[in-house]
Chain A
Amino acid sequence: MENKTFEPKIIAFVCNWCTYTGADLAGTSRMKYEPNVRLIKLPCTGRIDPVMILKAFEKGADGVLVSGCHPGDCHYNAGNFHARRRWIMFHKLLDFVGIDENRLHFSWVSASEGKKFVDVINGFVNKVKAKGPFEKYEKINKEFVING
């Protein structure tokens, strides 16, 4: 079941105020987690553009994680509310393009949730590990003109 040799590459888009700080807390508390995820810090999940996610898959990510403040707790009042609305649409797009939903994970991790951050990372890494490498991105690349 488990693929011992396959170490997935995962990109995480996280907001500066909640999840990034939650990850800092996991560090300060010396919690251990899977090393496969690379965080890209954004001011807010509101900044996340669906194209970024496609871009990440295009560049070879096996999974993409998006994480920000809990709904209602956004540092910028409404940023993550807009993000959420976009994501709902984005899920459909993903489906349409044929990217397995399980390769994209949305979660809320607040600045005080170091433990939750660790659980989210470990859970997602294991899920992607079970899926195996993501090889379909070329197809998507062909079908979708991605600017930037």
Chain B
Amino acid sequence: MKIGVFICHCGENIGRTVDCVRVAKACSFFPNVVHSVEYKYMCSDPGQNMIKQAIKDLKLDGVVVGSCSPHMHEKTFRKAVSDAGVNPFLCEIANLREHVSWVHDDKEVATDKAIDLMRFAVEKVKRNAPLKTIQVPVTKRTLVIGGGIAGIQAALDVANAGYEVVLVEKEPSIGGHMSQLSETFPTLDCSQCILTPRMVEVYQHPKIKLMTYSEVEKVEGFIGNFKVTIRKKARFVDDTLCSGCGDCAIKCPIKKKALSEFDEKLAFRSAIYVPFPQAVPNIPVIDKEVCTYFKNGKCSMCVKVCGRNAIKFDQQDEFISEDIGAIIVATGYKLYTIDKKPEASEIKGYGEYGYGKYKDVVDGLQFERIASASGPTSGEFQRPSDGKTPKKIVFIQCVGSRDESKGFSYCSKICCMYTAKHAMLYKHKVHDGEAYVFYMDIRAGGKMYEEFVRRAIEEDGVKYIRGRVSRIYEEDGKYIVKGEDTLAGVPIQIDADMVVLATAMVAQTDAPKLAQTIGMPYDNYGFYSEVHPKLRPVESSTGGVFLAGACNSPRDIPDSVAMASAAAAKALVLFGSDMLEREPTIAFVNENLCAGCFYCKKVCAYNAIEVKQIKDKNGNVIKEVAFVNSGLCQGCGTCNATCPSKAIELIGYTDEQIYAEIAALM
């Protein structure tokens, strides 16, 4: 084999800490290396041409590039090699940037390490086999998980491009958090007014199959070819019969036993209910936990009043299987809870703010409901404890966020804005009211955002105080808020009528569970991870899985919508061709060695191993061996490590290749 080595300086990025000339020189002495050069930018056109030219001139049949992470440019270089007529899988990348030059300071040591990594790669490429990519068909249907504004937008975009969508929402209605908001920054338009038409559009779209009160149970397969099982939870109402008249909810005797989730526990709902009047679909569900029928077989009032016989107490959960090509995850966020800390949680909670025991110390979404015309107070500012109009409100920012001790270290990005909005809405309605905002920094980096915050301060007279509040306690019906103005260096104490905590957006509690169902990564906070924070922000590293909205990190509506459209576009890109290319890194069985023990079959998570019968000329079965279904094998290599006979090998990562790399350590 004739191997060419190409060392990249990456401008100064590698060259500053790695002596590229010395590396190239050292590589030239490796066995089989016939050509070894360095260059400033290997991924540039001249750089790629250098490789192509060398292949042609020197008849190279193996290439090793020492450059950035293979996650960055492996594709680029494989393509270049392939263009020059060499099988792309005979090209290996050594990571001299992310794993060497950027993480070490000492030039000597870094250069030595770079040479080692090059040696690994050369030893590996020697044992690489020329491979062909695998072609698989694409199912052109999209699953959207989560029906908040992000999921709605993604579903509509894909459907409007002419492809079928299955939209799965776990709550009885789509709409997500946006449906709970009063008015929205930075324009102060009414949230419901702009959202409801979209929700209806989803409902009526011929290409969208809407499944509310449903959850994804199982995801099998891979990009272009997922098989998804969805659990349709029993509503106890037949959605094909119900007309959405609402009589059942009106007559349901349960009035004060269940707190409305939609109203953030500031109001009650009945046992049979639709979460809010504009719900889509407008079909109620029965809450088994509070319904008297489910408790002791009594009542059945809803059955009596329902003119369409839609109530079905014996309804069971259904499981529905769908063939899917692309998945868009848009499961959104939840709010940091100010209640007493949950058991076994890392989060300590704000005992100094009362752990939620003070009725008039509310969180951001509760305040949205109080401010909302459709909320429990019809948009009048009344405090929950006694219904009085608060004359003095204190807003506290960064609660649960930017706080390693009680919550999370990240900035929740939107709460500066919603606090300014809250203070403004309050001042617009309660003219003689006083509004104070305790903040650490004001982060208003969007279009017209800074202007919005300044308006709250300059025109509406909201007082901003730079400092974190240390404690809140109740005294004679007032809430004593103890803070410090760090700009003036003076302690500030305010006796407020009400306190609003700008609580952080945090990941859904079940986010890791869904991630594990799908097999995609998430970060320490529970937010789903994108492949690359700058260049591939809407893709999960699992092929065919895209991300939209606040499930990826805290974000506001404009950003969620933009991300949703981007995710939809990514799904549509996938649907642009009928067949999909896949890396040929799959397992392969040496039938002569295979003992037919099928340990491999047991450990394969993709059911890729099948039983193959070997027959003699007369058609008698002489033995059974393992066989890898190349459409299903994902190339994890677990079978390879398990096989006691060393009969099954993972192409591209064979024992021989790995041992060669290990040996290259010396």
Contact = CB atoms under 8 A, between A and B. Distances in A.
A105 interface: no
B300 interface: no
Interface string A62-99: 00000001001111111100110010000000000000
Main secondary structure of the interface of A (DSSP, over half): loop
A49 B640 contact: yes
Contact of B637 (A11, A24, A26, A42): A42
Contacts of B662: 11, 40, 52, 55-56, 59, 61
Nearest to A71: B516
Nearest to A50: B641
Given A28-B98, A39-B99, A77 B519 contact: yes
Interface in B56-73: 69-71
A8 to B, nearest CB: 12
A42 B638 contact: no
B470 interface: no
Nearest to B102: A27
Contacts of B99: 23-24, 27, 39
A77 B519 CA distance: 6
Which residue among B98, B521, B635, B636 has the maximum number of chain A CB atoms within 10 Å of its CB?
B636
A79 B636 contact: yes
B172 interface: no
Contacts of A118: 103
A61 B659 CA distance: 13
Interface in A22-50: 23-24, 26-28, 30-33, 35, 38-44, 46-49
Given A24-B71, A75-B541, A60 B666 contact: yes
A115 to B, nearest CB: 10
B656 interface: yes
Contact of B636 (A9, A46, A72): A46
B209 interface: no
Nearest to A23: B99
A73 B515 CA distance: 8
Which residue among B97, B640, B658 has the maximum number of chain A CB atoms within 10 Å of its CB?
B658
Interface in B628-666: 634-638, 640-642, 646, 650, 653, 655-656, 658-659, 661-663, 665-666
B103 A82 contact: no
Interface stretch (B21-29, B109-117, B317-325, B373-381): B109-117
Contact of A44 (B71, B512, B636, B646): B636
Contacts of A69: 521
B523 interface: yes
A21 B99 CA distance: 10
A112 interface: yes
A17 interface: yes
Contact of A55 (B110, B512, B515, B659): B659
Which residue among A30, A32, A47, A52 has the maximum number of chain B CB atoms within 10 Å of its CB?
A47
Contact of B605 (A31, A60, A73, A78): A78
A112 B637 contact: no
Interface in B508-539: 512, 515-516, 519, 521-524, 529
Which residue among B116, B524, B637, B659 has the maximum number of chain A CB atoms within 10 Å of its CB?
B637
B524 A112 contact: yes
Contacts of A75: 519, 521, 541-542, 636
A73 B641 CA distance: 20
A121 to B, nearest CB: 9
Contact of B69 (A27, A61, A82, A83): A27
A59 B663 contact: yes
B656 A148 contact: yes
Nearest to B541: A17
Contacts of B659: 52, 55, 148
A76 B608 CA distance: 12
Contacts of A74: 519
A83 B106 CA distance: 36
B407 to A, nearest CB: 18
B103 A32 contact: yes
Nearest to A38: B116
B585 interface: yes
B658 A42 contact: yes
B541 A44 contact: no
B102 A30 contact: yes
B658 A26 contact: no
Contacts of A73: 512, 515-516, 521-522
B131 interface: no
B170 interface: no
A39 B658 CA distance: 11
B479 interface: no
A78 B519 CA distance: 9
B163 interface: no
B83 interface: no
A24 B541 CA distance: 14
Contacts of A44: 636-638
A111 interface: yes
Given A75-B521, A75-B542, A33 B665 contact: no
Contact of A111 (B103, B105, B529, B637): B529
Interface string B2-20: 0000000000000000000
Contacts of B666: 59-60
A77 B105 contact: no
B67 to A, nearest CB: 12
B91 to A, nearest CB: 15
Contacts of B106: 35
B69 A113 contact: no
B516 A72 contact: yes
B606 interface: yes
Nearest to B663: A59
A69 B522 CA distance: 11
A33 to B, nearest CB: 6
Given A49-B640, A59-B665, A112-B524, 11 more contacts: A17-B521, A24-B99, A27-B103, A28-B102, A33-B104, A35-B110, A42-B653, A43-B635, A44-B636, A47-B641, A113-B524
Interface of A: 9, 11, 17-18, 20-21, 23-24, 26-28, 30-33, 35, 38-44, 46-49, 51-52, 55-56, 59-61, 69, 72-79, 82-83, 86, 110-113, 118, 147-148
15 contacts: A21-B71, A30-B102, A35-B104, A42-B653, A43-B637, A49-B655, A56-B665, A59-B666, A73-B515, A76-B638, A77-B606, A79-B637, A82-B642, A110-B523, A118-B103
A-B CB proximity, top 9 nearest:
A47-B637, A27-B98, A46-B638, A76-B636, A78-B605, A77-B605, A112-B523, A27-B102, A44-B636
